[in-house]
Amino acid sequence: MLEAQNICFRYRAKSPVLDSVDLAVHPGEIIGLTGPSGAGKSTLGRILAGHYQPASGRILVDGIFHPPGFNPVQYLHQSPVFAVDPRWTIGRIISEAWQPDETLRQAFGVSPAWFDRYPHEISGGELQRVALLRAFAPQTRYLIADEISAQLDPLTQAQIWSVLLKQAESRRLGVLVISHDMPLLRRVAQRIVTI
């Protein structure tokens, strides 16, 4: 179980973004997280993924603190271009995490023709598929999907979610879906939390 316990967070001296927040994601569970912009949805997602340290409170991943090495809580960014090294080729970006098999590569619609290109040489939708494929390494237990399809057209969105949900189910991953798109959350999430 991925747990946020009594999380508080503030940016510099400003008023707290998160104040005593608790949240738990069980393996195999898909939870929607919504709320107005500025409510701290992405901040909570990044704290859960261990990218930010909370001011107080703690994050437990299957009962322990964030372990060193491969992060079992993978954070998927709204703009995948911020989640990759612009000087690395797509092939290197994926293989940093793992060597995906053919079936999964095809399921996510990642073309081997992109492997020797750089992130700016493929489109945003294509790069999001690359980021997803990278995040589905075998050691991944939880996914934080932060508005991952907000910039995609409806067909690509439906396609990416169908693969993601199928894979998450077969591996019993816990997924936190952050979005302001209520129709989308009602489709993909088992329950929806508002902050």
Partner 1 sequence: MTLLSFNDVDLSFSRYDGLLTAREIPILKRISFSLKCGEVVALIGASGGGKSLIAHALFGILPPNALIRGDIRFDGQRVDDGSRPSLLGRRMALVPQSISHLDPLARCFQQLRWAARRAGLRVNDAALVAMLTHFGLDARAAQAFPHQLSGGMARRMLMAIATVGNPDLIVADEPTSGLDDDNAAIVLSKLKSMADAGKGVLLITHSLATALAYADSVCLVRQGRVEGVERAEAFEGCGQGLSSDYARALWHALPQNGFRVTGDA
Site mask, partner 1, residues 133-172, x = CB under 8 A? Answer: ------------------xxxxxxxxx-xx----------
Answer yes or no whether residue 80 interacts with partner 1 by CB under 8 A.
no
Answer yes or no whether residue 36 interacts with partner 1 by CB under 8 A.
yes
Answer yes or no whether residue 109 interacts with partner 1 by CB under 8 A.
yes
Among 180, 192, 193, 195, binds partner 1 (CB under 8 A): 180
Answer yes or no whether residue 118 interacts with partner 1 by CB under 8 A.
no
Among 23, 110, 122, 168, binds partner 1 (CB under 8 A): 122
Among 181, 192, 193, 195, binds partner 1 (CB under 8 A): 181
The minimum distance between CB 67 and partner 1, in angstroms, equals 34
Question: Which CB sits closer to partner 1, 96 or 153?
Answer: 153
Distance CA 74, CA 104 (A): 17
The b/e string for 164-173 (b: 16+ C-beta within 10 A; e otherwise) is bbebbeeeeb
Site residues for partner 1 per CB under 8 A: 36-38, 109, 122-126, 151-159, 161-162, 180-181, 183-184, 186-188
